[in-house]
Amino acid sequence: MTPGLRRARPYALLAFLCLLLYAPGIAGIPVLDRDEARFAEASRQMLESGDYVRIRFQDTARNNKPVLIYWLQAAAVDLFSSAESRAIWPYRLPSAVGASLAVFFLFALGGRLFAAGTAGSRAAFLGAVLMASSLGLVAEAHIAKTDACLLAATVAGEGALARIYLRAKDGKRAGFSPAVLFWAAEALGILLKGPIAPFVAFLTAAALSLADRDASWLRGLYPLRGLLLLALIVAPWLFLIEKETHGRFLEGALGQDFLPKLLGGEQSHGAPPGTYLLALPAYFWPGSLYLVPALVRGWQRRNAPPERFLLAWLLPAWAVFELVPTKLPHYVLPLYPALALLAGGALAEGISLPARAERVADHALKALFAVATAALAFLLAALPILFGAGFSLAALAAAALLAALGAALLLAPRRFFLVPMLSAAFVFAAAQIVLPSLDRLWLSRSAAALVAAHPGQKGTPVLAVGYSEPSLVFLLGSKTRLALPAAAAAMLAPGGRALVAAGEAKAFEKALAARGFEASPLGSVKGLDYSTGRRLVLILYAIVRG
């Protein structure tokens, strides 16, 4: 095998793994509420309006996140579909590609970090496989929002920072190209999700400088020229959006979205410190089986530059995220690559836990791994009964396979090939078999099918009463109107259609009668609005003159 093919082989294997994990369900899983539907609909409205500066969901400005993810989604739709299509898969493509790029970048970073070790390439590859297979990244790769792409930008930036740091430890300067990559990655991170990527990079650099008692290596970032490059990338759109929104974008993004999350549990997502640590065995599954060896080995080798860099990436930012009141599992996703490479290093050099306390912690984590695996297997078998057509033999078989693979890995953790097999078995079963079949869970999908089965006058939008999830707007179109019963009656014209929650039906019919209209029911659907936890019946009415 030629050297070029030898270097390309691990990337080809990782690409195949990403395809295996991220492609299933990308088209079959319906659009999700609420963030995904809002991102996708705003991207579609960019295509429909031709306005690629302002971000809007229907008539409401979305001034909470920057623009890059909308541009990426709009480009994917323009390349592979059309704005008129109701398919969600092209909007998810940037997330799947972003997740894959994060895996490739992580392998390259691991190869650079562990280059001096005897098992450097193996450690990098194992870490990349753990990251690719993690439940958290698999989930984000299937959702049309920012986090998978943000992860790619974060890993690219940390990779450049690692190169500068390692060269400085060798008494050399890395040159200008790693600095260009670093500042470009941070700029893209800002355009994706504001200050998160630069914040993680800042804490990494600060922790390394404090631990080494030496900040001179930071000159390799070329700070003045780097900040100028960052400004050249970020400032043009920021200037335009501030002009178009009369200064409201930064007010909304920082004052109404970012700062409230720092100060309190925004949107009922508050949780105490330690929440992310408790969620780690599930969100990093199945790689969570190796977390204790990863952290033990990393701490034992904390004076070695590779492990010191990874710990500086992981620990300070993790502490800050634990202290921030607002918590969602994906917030700590940019820190999981450091965990993955620490675990890859432990696996490559052999798992050794000499201390009794370390062995006890490892046994506890293995028990949590078993619980997480059993819970996922149970969900595969139970969800079709709860929200689908009933008992599913295919789902039960998938659950049994998942449990068997999990038990095999638990009993033989050194058989690493079981890790991607376990993740792939779950992804295929969940994304291809179980989730698309849960009709009672996908209320908007059922409602859109009901509307399509009873077409009204062409160009007349549907009016929704008592059900206002963004997924319904995505599936029915941006002209879908959402209203209360009295307002709905005033907005409707003869020949219109209304989709009304059963609890609002009497008030709606009464308001219509007062205006000389009648509501003729065409059909109904029922299901769970999982965003609110309410079980709803939606009735489709044709509106006629009384």
Per residue, the 3-state secondary structure of 318-356, as one string, reads HHHHHHCCECCHHHHHHHHHHHHHHHHHHHHHCCCCCCH
For residues 305-317, give the mean pLDDT.
97
Give me the helices (H) in 388-495, please: 393-411, 418-428, 443-453, 470-476, 485-491
pLDDT for residue 485: 85
pLDDT for residue 491: 84
| Domain boundaries of the chain, sorted by first residue | 90-349, 358-437, 443-545
d(CA 37, CA 33): 6
d(CA 469, CA 30): 13
Model confidence at 58: pLDDT above 60:
yes
Residue with the larger pLDDT of the pair 109 and 115: 109
Confidence of residue 458 (pLDDT cuts 50, 70, 90): confident
Q: pLDDT for 65-111, tens place per residue?
A: 899 999 999 999 999 999 999 999 999 999 999 999 999 999 999 99
pLDDT for residue 489: 82
From the CB of residue 408, how many other CB atoms can be counted at a distance below 10 Å?
14
State phi, psi for 417 to the nearest 5 degrees. Answer: -60, -20
Residues with Cβ < 8 Å from 215, sequence gap 6 or more? 209
- Residue in this structure with the two tokens 């090939």, named with its chain if needed: 417
Model confidence at 268: pLDDT above 70:
no
The answer to whether 66 and 146 are in contact (CB under 8 A) is: no
Confidence of residue 495 (pLDDT cuts 50, 70, 90): low
Of the candidates 286, 260, 283, 402, which has an alpha carbon nearest to the alpha carbon of residue 336? 283
d(CA 168, CA 65): 36
| β-bridge mates for residue 498, sequence order | 463, 541
Query: CA angle, 39 as apex, 38 and 43 as ends, to 5°?
Result: 115
Counts for the chain of helices (H) and strands (E), in that order: 23, 7
The answer to whether 89 and 23 are in contact (CB under 8 A) is: no
Which of 245-249, 348-352, 525-529 is the most confident on average?
A: 525-529
For residues 347-368, give the mean pLDDT.
87
Confidence of residue 120 (pLDDT cuts 50, 70, 90): confident
The overall average pLDDT reported for the chain is 92
Structure token digits, residue 466 = 């008592």
Quick check: helix, strand or coil at residue 454?
A: coil
d(CA 179, CA 195): 18
pLDDT for residue 117: 58
Query: CA angle, 419 as apex, 417 and 423 as ends, to 5°?
Result: 130
d(CA 151, CA 252): 24
pLDDT for residue 199: 97
The DSSP symbol for 433 reads: I
pLDDT for residue 326: 87
Confidence of residue 349 (pLDDT cuts 50, 70, 90): confident
Distance (Å) of CA 474 to CA 44, 170, 262, 470, 480 = 9, 54, 31, 6, 9
pLDDT for residue 257: 67
pTM beyond 0.85: the answer is yes
Task: Report the interhelical angle of 305-323 vs 275-283 (nearest 10°).
Answer: 120
Q: pLDDT for 146-184, tens place per residue?
A: 999 999 999 999 999 999 999 999 888 888 999 999 999
Confidence of residue 356 (pLDDT cuts 50, 70, 90): confident
pLDDT for residue 420: 97
pLDDT for residue 118: 52
| β-bridge mates for residue 253, sequence order | none
- Mean pLDDT lowest among 128-132, 251-255, 536-540: 251-255
d(CA 363, CA 380): 26
The answer to whether 422 and 377 are in contact (CB under 8 A) is: no
Q: pLDDT for 389-428, tens place per residue?
A: 999 999 999 999 999 999 999 999 989 999 999 999 999 9
Chain length of the chain: 546
Q: pLDDT for 276-290, tens place per residue?
A: 999 999 999 999 999
- Sign of the CA dihedral 439, 440, 441, 446? positive
The answer to whether 162 and 375 are in contact (CB under 8 A) is: no
